[in-house]
Amino acid sequence: MDRIFHALADATRRDIVMRVVQREHSVSALAASYAMSFAAVQKHVAVLERARLVVKERRGREQVVHPNPDTVREAARLLEHYEELWRLRDQSISKVLSEDREEDREGEKS
Amino acid sequence: MTVISSNKDTEALTLTFVADFDASAERVWQLWEDPRQLERWWGPPTWPATFDRHDFVPGGRSNYVMTGPEGENGPGWWVTTVIQRPYRLEFEDGFADENGDPVVEMGSVRVVVTLEEIDGRTRMTTVSTFANVEQMQQMSEMGMEEGMREAMGQIDRLLAEDDSA
């Protein structure tokens, strides 16, 4: 549970995601960017992998990290549905408010 | 109503929806506070909601059921976490089983609502945060999607009513 939250709660991991979204990186290239051990960077990448934010693959002697396109695309599609829900709710709120105003006017007339 | 902005953050899994209403913050707050008024807008037009319980206090529980066009039921729950009348409200929203108990494995959506008065109107910002993509998938599969599609046809009607008002 909460894997994505947990994954993005750490500044280094957010930074890794930002870099990887722009273009793929090898784990060793990422390790060179931070003042921490190769093993520590590898652990961060593993957390991002479990949250399905990135995909790691072995290419020859290198481990290459790139964003997981499925997760990002799926998140966008689902957020769109939720966006429609709020649009509908806000429209209904607006309708309730305008009905109230009409009732007020009716009340004044009678 | 004027939609000011809608922002989808696919990394943080949040939706931030901002709209202005022609009413005071106090009036908009009542739409959240009073279950009878909440029922008038919480469910999409084809899935109206009924609130059986609405303990609108920090830590308070709410139970609702949305009823679909074929008579199908979509039960849900809230736990209100923060209330700063009439400017801020936070709650968790999730799916419930037939008894109104939370379906734990589905998790919940964290919703933060802020109301702000600007030039006699009220700006309402809702920030909804999902736990993960799987949860969003389940939620949208649980009837939400269908309800949404059917409800789309109602939008134009509502807009037309607003224009003629």
Q: Residues A19, A45: one domain? A: yes
Q: Which residues of chain A make contact with B22, given a CB cutoff of 8 A?
A: 94, 97-98
Judged by CB atoms closer than 8 Å, whether chains meet at A79 and B10 is answered as: yes
Asked if residue A35 has pLDDT above 80, the reply is yes
Asked if residue B103 has pLDDT above 80, the reply is no
Q: If pLDDT is split at 50, 70 and 90, which confidence band does B164 have?
A: low
Q: Residues A73, A45: one domain? A: no
Cα–Cα dist B96/B73, whole Å: 11
Amino acid present at B22: D
Show which of residues 76-105 on chain A sit within 8 Å of chain B, judged by CB atoms: 76, 78-98, 100-102
Residue A89, CA distances (Å) to A108, B42, B59, B104 in order: 29, 6, 24, 25
Q: If pLDDT is split at 50, 70 and 90, which confidence band does B139 have?
A: low
pLDDT tens-digit readout, B109-122 = 999 999 999 998 99
The total number of structural domains in chain B stands at: 1
Residue A81 is inside which H or E element, if any?
helix A69-109
Query: Residue B2's pLDDT is what?
Result: 80
Amino acid present at B160: A
Query: Residue B25's pLDDT is what?
Result: 94
Q: Residues A63, A105: one domain? A: no
Interchain CB contacts (distance < 8 Å): A and B? 129
Q: Does the predicted TM-score (pTM) go above 0.80?
A: no
Q: If pLDDT is split at 50, 70 and 90, which confidence band does B151 have?
A: very low
Say which CATH number the domain at B144 has: 3.30.530.20
Asked if residue A19 has pLDDT above 50, the reply is yes
Q: Residues A90, A58: one domain? A: no
Q: Residues A90, A80: one domain? A: yes
Say which CATH number the domain at A43 has: 1.10.10.10
Cα–Cα dist A34/B140, whole Å: 39
Mutation site, A22, A88, A106, interface B, largest B CB count within 10 A: A88
Judged by CB atoms closer than 8 Å, whether chains meet at A86 and B155 is answered as: no
Asked if residue B158 has pLDDT above 50, the reply is no
The total number of structural domains in chain A stands at: 2
Cα–Cα dist B31/B39, whole Å: 9
For A52, list phi and psi in degrees, rounded to 5: 60, 30
For A19, list phi and psi in degrees, rounded to 5: -65, -45
Q: Residues A82, A107: one domain? A: yes
- Alpha helices, DSSP H, located in chain B: 25-33, 35-38, 133-139, 145-164
Closest Cβ–Cβ partner in A52, A76, A94 for B21: A94
Q: Residues A26, A40: one domain? A: yes
- Alpha helices, DSSP H, located in A23-68: 27-33, 38-50
pLDDT tens-digit readout, A36-89 = 999 999 999 998 888 777 899 999 999 999 877 776 676 777 778 788 888 989
pLDDT tens-digit readout, A98-109 = 988 788 777 766
**What does the pLDDT average to over A2-6?**
56
Q: Residues A10, A59: one domain? A: yes
Q: Which residues of chain A make contact with B17, given a CB cutoff of 8 A?
A: 83, 86-87, 90
Q: What three-state secondary structure class fits B116?
A: strand
**What does the pLDDT average to over B7-22?**
87
Cβ A30 vs Cβ A66: under 8 Å: no
- Least confident range of A27-31, B35-39, B154-158: B154-158
Query: A68: which 2 tokens?
Result: 């997981």
Q: If pLDDT is split at 50, 70 and 90, which confidence band does B98 have?
A: confident
Q: Residues A36, A85: one domain? A: no
Domain that residue A98 falls in? 69-110
Asked if residue B146 has pLDDT above 70, the reply is no
Judged by CB atoms closer than 8 Å, whether chains meet at B148 and A81 is answered as: yes
- Least confident range of A13-22, A30-39, B79-88: A13-22
> What chain A residue is nearest to B41 in terms of C-alpha separation?
A92
Judged by CB atoms closer than 8 Å, whether chains meet at B13 and A82 is answered as: no
Closest Cβ–Cβ partner in B40, B128, B132 for A82: B128
- Least confident range of A56-60, A93-97, B9-13, B91-95: B9-13
Q: Residues A59, A14: one domain? A: yes
Q: Residues A85, A56: one domain? A: no
Cα–Cα dist A80/B8, whole Å: 8
Q: Which residues of chain A make contact with B162, given a CB cutoff of 8 A?
A: 94-95, 98
The alpha carbon of residue B98 is apart from the nearest alpha carbon of chain A, in Å, by 23
Query: Residue B145's pLDDT is what?
Result: 42
Judged by CB atoms closer than 8 Å, whether chains meet at A88 and B45 is answered as: yes
Query: Residue A96's pLDDT is what?
Result: 92
Query: A37: which 2 tokens?
Result: 């051990």
Domain that residue B92 falls in? 2-164
Q: Residues A79, A29: one domain? A: no
